Amino acid sequence: MTERMLLLGNEAMAHGLVEAGCSVVASYPGTPASEILSGVAQWQARYQLPMHVEWAVNEKVALEIAYAASQAGLRAATAMKQVGLNVASDPFMSAAYLGVKGGFLVISADDPGPHSSQTEQDSRLMAMSAKVPVLDPDSPEQALELVKTGFELSEAFQVPVMLRPTTRVCHANQDILPGPVAPSERKALFEKNPARWAATPNFRHRLHLELEEKLARIAAWEPTAPRLFNPAATAPRAIVAAGVAASHAREVLCDLGLQDTLPLWQVVQPYPLHSGFITDILEKYDDILILEETAGVMELQLADRYRVKGKCSGFVPAVGELSPEKIAGIIAAFAGIPVEEPPVPPAGGGRRPTLCPGCPHRASFYAIKKAAPKGIYPSDIGCYTLGTNLGGVDTVLCMGAAVSQAAGFYQAYKLGGEVPDIVATIGDSTFFHAGIPPLIDAVVQDARFVLVILDNATTAMTGNQPTPALGWGAGGVPTATVDMEGVVKACGVKFCKTGRPGDLPAFTALVKEAVSFARTEGLAVVIARQPCVVDRTFKGERPPRRKVGISDDCNGCRYCVDQFECPALVYDEEQKRVVVDTLICTDCGVCIDVCPRMAIEEVGQ
């Protein structure tokens, strides 16, 4: 017996997974998808379900673990953000050919905007490229339902299915009545079939043909057929919308008084678009507006440049989220009616994003700049990307790229001229995710740089999920651990030393030692180990607190504000000097070693 609940979109999808009898779920955290797996762990505990739920080391591993469970006949799922799907793209593409046995759902959450991603890429395009059907929910409630539909589709046609929510679905809350949950009765049973599961190129050709046949049948599967929102509307033009854009379009039609005249079709399966639907709307309408995020996936399949208006045609912006205001303007222009310009909100004061007060990464970047002031600083994906504002981050490409880019800079400079100091930074979780293969490569190729692993004992940016070094997994269950120093040394690194960045003088000396080693001997790794200041899951010992105050020696030079940028150090325009904002100061005491006039001093508690 279930009851109505106010659920986050990610929690709703998690509930859909347990309702559908999904037995194995694996994920790597990434906004906006992170709460899907923690939601599954929460429901698993609540309903006492026999499931395997894990934070995997990266998205490729997560997908492969879940896929194997599907090959063994269980329902399985993996969840990730859209750039995570890039990491998992290799098994994703191949799994489409091999097909599945138990239902297999790949949830890839997109981030139009983007709010917290490197790209605005559309996972539906990746699904199209892999020839995997994709479902596009407009709300948390529909996302929950489409999880169950996705498993039915997957098992009916023996294919992986993608569910593609966007940030507005993942992070919206909705009052939902979830369905009943019961433990899955299935037991894993892998039936050997090398011609399929270990297919050679000859068999792959046949599997590709089978996949094309499946797609043709999926394009006529009734449960995912497009629906007309307003059947009474009979204009010679129509809107076709998917995902959150469909939800906005419904509201906008009513606001503009067009709900009885302008037909609105909602598509939940943008790929493969239903073939009968394509024929029907091209026969019925002279003018078709496509509303979808973020690329023109449905528009590409309609392939009528003269009647179809969308992202490819330039009628709908190709970049950014489709907000209700934007959609109102687009629909009004399509319908040929005037629309009032939305009021422009007053510009907020705002401040640029920065690391938290007391964040150990701030001390690490400060030490790196002291140790290698003219260095090149490749960095990586994580909250430490905010080190850009501190001048400690020169490049950010993708997970793990800090290590390979540091090696690439070294090899490029070595070809001629003087090699500069190169100090790369990577987070602990990112190191385990994608930093190990490039570290091995750098050792083998004798690339000489310093790698600082910013080990704050958590995956901080996505909500403090565990890393392989911590000894606990999804839902807090105990796990084995992997020793970071041991991994670094096993990669062949000769210099591997650990320090605490909050002890700024000692840590700066350690980074200088590493820089000197890299100049003459080879690759050096420094592990900057200090827990994340806002991680409530951290159970170990924290560094001693040192309450600080500003003495009369402060001459208002702003060095600490500009070079260290702790938000708790505030320049007071009236006093023309710095003061400590005691509401947000965490008493880390690191700034004591920053002021050149020693005007920041420890004071009693």
Give the 3-state secondary structure of residue 389.
helix
Measured distance CA(563)–CA(507) in Å, rounded: 17
By the rule CB under 6 A, 389 interacts with ligand SF4: no
By the rule CB under 6 A, 566 interacts with ligand SF4: yes
Paired tokens of 419: 């090699």
Name residue 377's amino acid.
Y
What part of residues 293-322 is at the interface with ligand SF4 (CB under 6 A)?
none
- Beta-carbon contacts of 494 under 8 Å, excluding residues fewer than 6 positions away, are 521, 522, 523, 524
Out of 555, 575, 576, 602, point to the residue binding ligand SF4 (CB under 6 A). Answer: 555
Nearest approach in angstroms of CB 582 to ligand SF4 is 8
400: left (phi over 0), alpha (psi -120 to 50) or beta: left
Instruction: Tell me which stretch binds ligand SF4 (CB under 6 A): 49-57, 196-204, 259-267, 592-600.
Output: 592-600
Query: What residues form DSSP beta bridges with 174?
Result: 7
By the rule CB under 6 A, 550 interacts with ligand SF4: yes
Out of 279, 597, 602, 603, point to the residue binding ligand SF4 (CB under 6 A). Answer: 597
Out of 443, 556, 570, 579, point to the residue binding ligand SF4 (CB under 6 A). Answer: 556
By the rule CB under 6 A, 559 interacts with ligand SF4: yes
Measured distance CA(544)–CA(530) in Å, rounded: 12
What part of residues 20-59 is at the interface with ligand SF4 (CB under 6 A)?
none
Out of 339, 557, 570, 579, point to the residue binding ligand SF4 (CB under 6 A). Answer: 557
- Find out whether 15 and 177 touch, Cβ atoms under 8 Å: no
Residue closer to ligand SF4 by CB (options 100, 568) is 568
By the rule CB under 6 A, 549 interacts with ligand SF4: no
Measured distance CA(102)–CA(70) in Å, rounded: 4
Out of 76, 127, 143, 590, point to the residue binding ligand SF4 (CB under 6 A). Answer: 590
Token pair 């090699």 in the structure block, residue: 419
Out of 16, 226, 296, 589, point to the residue binding ligand SF4 (CB under 6 A). Answer: 589
What part of residues 344-363 is at the interface with ligand SF4 (CB under 6 A)?
357-358
By the rule CB under 6 A, 588 interacts with ligand SF4: yes
By the rule CB under 6 A, 585 interacts with ligand SF4: yes
Measured distance CA(365)–CA(583) in Å, rounded: 24
Paired tokens of 415: 């070809």
By the rule CB under 6 A, 575 interacts with ligand SF4: no
Nearest approach in angstroms of CB 316 to ligand SF4 is 46
Give the 3-state secondary structure of residue 190.
coil
Burial of 330-359, coded b for 16+ CB within 10 Å and e otherwise, reads: bbbebbeeebeeeeeeeeeeeeeebbbbbb
Residue closer to ligand SF4 by CB (options 210, 587) is 587
Paired tokens of 27: 């994920």
Measured distance CA(505)–CA(507) in Å, rounded: 6
Instruction: Tell me which stretch binds ligand SF4 (CB under 6 A): 49-57, 154-162, 342-350, 554-562.
Output: 554-562
The three-state DSSP-derived secondary structure of 56-103 is CCCHHHHHHHHHHHHHCCCCEEEEEEHHHHHHCHHHHHHHHHHCCCCC
By the rule CB under 6 A, 323 interacts with ligand SF4: no
Residue closer to ligand SF4 by CB (options 321, 593) is 593
H/E run at residue 174: strand 173-176
Residue closer to ligand SF4 by CB (options 134, 554) is 554
Residue closer to ligand SF4 by CB (options 114, 360) is 360
Paired tokens of 480: 């084995």
- Find out whether 331 and 249 touch, Cβ atoms under 8 Å: yes
Radius of gyration of the chain (CA): 27
By the rule CB under 6 A, 414 interacts with ligand SF4: no
Instruction: Tell me which stretch binds ligand SF4 (CB under 6 A): 199-207, 437-445, 457-465, 589-597.
Output: 589-597
Token pair 């859209």 in the structure block, residue: 82
Instruction: Tell me which stretch binds ligand SF4 (CB under 6 A): 27-35, 346-354, 506-514, 578-586.
Output: 578-586
- Find out whether 204 and 197 touch, Cβ atoms under 8 Å: no
Nearest approach in angstroms of CB 252 to ligand SF4 is 46
By the rule CB under 6 A, 599 interacts with ligand SF4: yes
By the rule CB under 6 A, 580 interacts with ligand SF4: yes
By the rule CB under 6 A, 560 interacts with ligand SF4: yes
Name residue 273's amino acid.
L
CA nearest neighbour of 230 among 249, 210, 215 = 249
Out of 67, 423, 569, 593, point to the residue binding ligand SF4 (CB under 6 A). Answer: 569
Residue closer to ligand SF4 by CB (options 267, 585) is 585
- Find out whether 244 and 294 touch, Cβ atoms under 8 Å: no
Instruction: Tell me which stretch binds ligand SF4 (CB under 6 A): 79-87, 127-135, 201-209, 564-572.
Output: 564-572
- The footprint of ligand SF4 on this chain (CB under 6 A) covers a number of residues equal to 28
Q: Which residues bind ligand SF4 (CB under 6 A)?
A: 357-358, 548, 550, 554-560, 566, 568-569, 577-578, 580, 585-591, 595, 597, 599-600
